[in-house]
């Protein structure tokens, strides 16, 4: 059974050394990204960093922006913040559209209140 099937996307499952090996970077780089606020891994009871698949994908995006596009860490922070805001706005739009659809339903379909 693959890791994707056993654990959710946000489930913290990789300790820092494993996450670093998966990404081909040093553990200190992950600590530095956390210090800058670019990532927020979960912590174990012993305060050990534990990364989810979402965290690993976020670091891959950071590395891609830096290596492929030449964006510096300050630029990466801006890009990630904008992407997070875009995702939040899209989620809000979906909620509002669902609410609008619900309100557009004919009154006959709505249950009557006593």
- Name the residue ranges covered by the structural domains of the chain: 3-104
Per-residue pLDDT band at 9 (split at 50, 70, 90): confident
Mean pLDDT of 9-28: 95
Closest CA to 60 of 81, 17, 29, 86: 29
Query: What pLDDT is stored for residue 26 in this prediction?
Result: 97
Domain 3-104 has CATH 1.10.1660.10: yes
The pTM for the full model equals 0.76
Strand ranges across the sheet with 42-43: 14-15, 49-51, 42-43
The three-state (H, E, C) secondary structure of 35-58, written as one string: HHCCCCCEECCCCCEEECHHHHHH
pLDDT at residue 7 greater than cutoff 90: no
* pLDDT tens by residue, 97-113: 999 999 988 755 656 66
* pLDDT tens by residue, 49-99: 999 999 999 999 999 999 999 999 999 999 999 999 999 999 999 999 999
Residue with the bigger pLDDT between 22 and 112: it is 22
- The gap between the terminal CA atoms of the chain, to the nearest Å, is 54
């Amino acid at each position: 059974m693959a890791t994707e099937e056993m654990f959710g996307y946000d489930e913290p499952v990789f300790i820092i050394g494993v996450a670093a090996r998966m990404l081909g970077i040093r553990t200190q780089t992950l600590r530095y990204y956390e210090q800058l606020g670019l990532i927020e891994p979960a912590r174990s009871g012993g305060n050990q960093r534990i990364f989810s698949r979402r965290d690993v994908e976020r670091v891959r995006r950071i590395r891609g922006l830096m290596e492929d596009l030449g964006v510096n860490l300050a630029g990466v922070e801006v890009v990630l913040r904008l992407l997070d805001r875009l995702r939040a706005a899209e989620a809000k739009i979906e909620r509002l559209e669902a609410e609008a659809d619900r309100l557009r339903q004919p009154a006959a379909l709505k249950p009557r209140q006593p």
